[in-house]
Amino acid sequence: MELEVEVAAALHEFAARLAALDPAPVRSAGVALRVGDADPVVLSESVAAALCTALRSYHDPRDRGRCAQCGGPRLDEGLQCLDCGQPAGLFGQLIRERMARHQ
Ligand SMILES: [Zn+2]
């Protein structure tokens, strides 16, 4: 329930912040989002478009790219793949090349 309230509040704040920049929104188009049992948050067309842009441009700080070996999306802080265990990135490539020379 607390999470629903927080998400609904964030949507309301986002819509209000952008509504101030768009004094004449298109009335006929838009979207209403309902979070839990709360009243729906009505987004104008421009606010809905901005929300889509914001969601698509979000970069999670845990997203460290993909593993060059298996393509897995889960790399730890040391850039080691949590799926195949191989070190990722240029550093990982250097390590793999060095290990191959020693084998
Ligand atoms: Zn991998």
Per residue in 39-77, pLDDT tens? Answer: 888 898 889 999 999 999 999 999 999 998 899 999 998
b/e map 37-73, b = 16+ CB within 10 Å: ebeebebbebbbebbeeeeeeeeeeeebeebbbeeee
> How many C-beta atoms lie closer than 10 Å to residue 75's C-beta?
22
Domain ranges of the chain: 2-57, 61-103
Question: What local confidence, expressed as pLDDT, does residue 27 receive?
Answer: 66
71 C-alpha to ligand 1 centroid (Å)? 6
52 C-alpha to ligand 1 centroid (Å)? 30
Question: What local confidence, expressed as pLDDT, does residue 10 receive?
Answer: 94
Average pLDDT over the chain reads 87
102 C-alpha to ligand 1 centroid (Å)? 22
29 vs 95, residue with greater confidence: 95
Residue 26: which pLDDT band, with cuts at 50, 70 and 90? low
Question: What local confidence, expressed as pLDDT, does residue 74 receive?
Answer: 93
Q: Ligand 1 (ion): which residues have CB within 5 A? A: 67, 69-70, 72, 81, 83-84
Longest Cα separation, the chain: 69
